[in-house]
Every structure is written in structure tokens, then in C-alpha cells.
Chain A
Amino acid sequence: MANVGIVIISHSEKVADGVKDILEQAVGQVTVESAGGTEDGEIGTSLEKIQGAIENVHSAQGTVVFYDLGSAKMNAEIAIEMLELENVHLAEAPVLEGAYLAAVEASMGSALDEVVKALEKEFK
């Protein structure tokens, strides 16, 4: 069965890609997609990029989405509402540290609610 998917949203394409690189190298067995910067790679976020990233990693197991600053959260909320997918959780945690923890949990085959619980416990 697929693992919980992870999406990294950042205002910077480099930051989002960098966090993805760290997770893939340090955790390995992880389904992660980055959605950084605007469509033309400027600083900002793109609704379409975010939607695409969620769709790429999403499975019946669910997806956890991490974001960095203000507009990233709003765009993430809109993306989730519009996709109308079940089991997509927007995490309130530091992007790198949170995603790292989620990746470790997901790689162990934890279910979405277990991943979310672990995040809440660590970053309350």
C-alpha cells in the first residue's frame, strides 16, 4: 500500500526543492513533491503548482501539506478546497522539521491520522 504523501510549499522554488532533496536523501522511502515559487519561478506561490503537487503524491492513504508564509497557506487552503480530495491535511509545523518528521512516520507506513498526531505532539 502507498504511504502518506508529503507536499512542500514554499515561496521559493529552491527552498521547496531543497526540503524535498533532504527528505529523499535522509528518509528515502517517501513520496514527496515540491511546489515552490510562482509559475515563472519568482518568489511567491502558485495555486496550480500546489494543486499539481498534491495530485501527484495523493493516494487513499492521504497527504500532508506543509507551507512557509502567509499566502502559501491561503493558496494551500484554496487548492485543497478545490481538489475536493479526502484526507488532505494542512500541517501547522515548521516546514523542514515538520516535513522531516512526517516523512519518517510515513516511511514506517503510519496512517495519516498517526502522522498528524505525531506532528501535533512535536510542534504544539
Chain B
Amino acid sequence: MTFTVEQAINWLTKSNEKIQKNKDYLSELDQAIGDGDHGINMARGFDEVVKKLDGNDYEQVADVLKDAAMTLMSKVGGASGPLFGTAFLKISMAVKGEEAVTFGTFVKALEDAVAGVKQRGKAEEGEKTMIDVWSPMVERMKAADDFDASVIRDNAKSSMEATKDIVATKGRAAYLKERSKGHLDPGSVSSYYIFEALAESLEEGA
């Protein structure tokens, strides 16, 4: 199976739908351990992404993801902008040149995305950030031979749920130390929606 331009657009459209629908929930999560703007910021950014994609014809997956990345970086406003923007930009760079992206290239692209987000956010695994969803996803997909929607969905969900027990050491939540335990990481929940959207776009096909 390959990943096509239509699926890439579908991926971002569905990500936007999920984030809009859960905007208040994401902000509530962020109010508990962050600065409370995650839902609003992500909703604003992804809304702009869909608007940006709407008016364009794309020939390559890379171009779709690059436009998404640049829009997120300039429109989100909070820390999620540069972080999710970097993730999509790295994926875009890695899949450049392939009209239909192969599984191998896609996994490598996700790996680059994780490296990029780590470098940008100066974070590692186990610090209660989006990396705790993205990094296990790369490891899981590396062990597979092809896209598998249910594997992607299940992996993202369990990783997202596992952030509840992590003590935050990055971002605003780090000030709370032990008190950050028991709360889901908002960036990981958004990442779950993004991977759930990826799974759905794979299921629906090109």
C-alpha cells in the first residue's frame, strides 16, 4: 500500500475535524497542567491548514504536508505551532519526490519528524510530551511491513493514555512536577487525533 496526495489531504482534513470537535476538551486538559490554550491554538492552526489546502492542486504528498507545516508554524500561536509544524515539515522533506509514498519512506519520515521535534523542543521520551506518542509509533511501525490502520490507531491510543502516569519535565507542566501526574498530556491527545485521522485516511483508501 502507498500513501497518496488524496490520503494526505484526507489525513489533515480529518485531523482538523477531530481537533475542532475536541477543542474544548483539549483546552480543559491544558488548563489542568499547562497554560490552557492548546485547544484554541490547535483548532485555529488546523482550520487554517484546511483552508490553505482547499484552494490548491497538489501533485506530491510532500507539497501538501509542507503547506500544512508552514501554516501551523505561522498560525497556531503557542508552542504547538513550531512543534507540530516541525513534525509535518520533516515528514514533507523525507517524502519529497514520491508521488505515492511507500511504507518504508513513510516510516523513515516519521522517524525524522520525531528527531526534529526532539531537537526543536529539547525533549526526549518520557517527559510527558507529544514525543511519547510519536516515538512509540515509529518503533511500532518499524516492526511492521505495511500500513495497518488498526495498529496505528491502537498504538496512538495506548501511548496517549500512558502519558497520564508520567511526571512532566518539559513545558509549563514541568512547574507542577508530581502534580502533573494523573493528567493526560494535551499534545499527546492531539497527536492521538492526528494518528487516528491517519488510520481513517488509510482505511478509506485513495
**Which A residues lie at the B interface, using CB under 8 A?**
38-39, 42-48, 70-71, 74-75, 77-78
Contacts and interface: CB of A to CB of B under 8 A. Distances in A.
A35 B76 CA distance: 15
B77 A38 contact: yes
A44 B81 CA distance: 10
A47 B77 contact: no
The 6 A-B residue pairs whose C-beta atoms are closest, nearest first, are A44-B77, A74-B82, A71-B79, A38-B77, A47-B74, A47-B73
Interface in B169-183: 171-172
A47 B71 CA distance: 10
Contacts of A74: 79, 81-83, 120-121
Provide the main secondary structure of the chain B interface. helix
Interface size class for chain B? 10 to 19
A71 B74 contact: no
Given A48-B74, A74-B120, A78-B73, A43 B37 contact: yes
Given A38-B75, A77-B120, 16 more contacts: A38-B77, A42-B77, A43-B77, A44-B76, A44-B81, A47-B73, A47-B81, A70-B79, A70-B171, A70-B172, A71-B78, A75-B81, A77-B82, A78-B73, A78-B86, A78-B120
B201 interface: no
Contact of A39 (B75, B80, B121, B171): B75
A78 B86 CA distance: 9
A77 B79 CA distance: 12
A115 to B, nearest CB: 25
Given A44-B41, A74-B120, A74-B121, A39 B81 contact: no
Contacts of A46: 74, 77
B112 to A, nearest CB: 16
Nearest to B73: A47
Centre residue among B79, B80, B172 by max chain A CB count within 10 A: B79
Contacts of B78: 44, 71
A55 to B, nearest CB: 15
23 contacts: A38-B77, A39-B74, A39-B75, A42-B77, A43-B37, A44-B37, A44-B81, A45-B77, A46-B77, A47-B73, A71-B77, A71-B78, A71-B79, A71-B80, A74-B79, A74-B81, A74-B82, A74-B120, A75-B81, A75-B82, A78-B73, A78-B82, A78-B86
B82 A71 contact: yes
Nearest to B72: A47
Contacts of A38: 75, 77
Contacts of B85: 78
A74 B118 CA distance: 12
Nearest to A46: B74
Interface string B61-98: 00000000000011111111111011000000000000
A72 to B, nearest CB: 9
